[in-house]
Amino acid sequence: MFSDPQFWVAVAFVAFIVAVFNPVRKILTTSLDAQIKAIKDKIEEAENLKNETQVSLSEIKQRQNDVQSEIQTILKEAENKVKQIEQLAADKLKDQIAKRQVLAEAKIEQLTRDANNLIQTHITSSAIDATIAILEQKLNNEEQQKLIDTSIQELGSALKN
């Protein structure tokens, strides 16, 4: 057995494998450990990115909700302002209509008074003119003088009272 060259080749082969296996194992282990570490780092980085993305997504959703609520608030405020403006405009319109109605009624009353005064003046002047014409036709000079004297006496007594 010790003199057999195959035995020594086998022993040398085993010794060679043992001698080469330890450094090769260390190299393979180091290489595999480095690759495992790199893969773990990439996975960890991907998880961090995923977490950051989820945080960013939740922040964006929160901002979107905030913006939606602000939009709703602004819409409600705008609707309230529109209602207030409409109410104010309606009140102003009612006031203007009431003022114009009062002015129109005052103008109508003034026109009615003016028309009545004009009619009375016309009736009075017509009656005076008709009376003068009738008196001139029917009264002679003596009757005219008598009527004037009577009128003067009545005027004097009316002024005394």
Check residue 116 and give its pLDDT. 94
- pLDDT digits over 101-154, tens only? 999 999 999 999 999 999 999 999 999 999 888 877 777 778 778 888 888 888
Check residue 18 and give its pLDDT. 84
Q: How big is the chain by its Cα radius of gyration, in Å?
A: 63
Check residue 104 and give its pLDDT. 96
Residue type, 51: N
> Looking at 7-11, 40-44, 55-59, 96-100, which range is the least confident one?
7-11
In whole angstroms, give the CA distance from residue 7 to residue 28: 30
Check residue 3 and give its pLDDT. 81
C-alpha neighbours within 13 Å on the C-beta side of residue 156: 6
Q: Is 56:48 a contact under the CB 8 Å cutoff?
A: no
In whole angstroms, give the CA distance from residue 35 to residue 41: 10
- pLDDT digits over 52-108, tens only? 999 999 999 999 999 999 999 999 999 999 999 999 999 999 999 999 999 999 999
Alpha carbon 109 to chain centroid, angstroms: 44
In whole angstroms, give the CA distance from residue 133 to residue 111: 32
Check residue 161 and give its pLDDT. 63
Give domain limits for the chain: 5-160
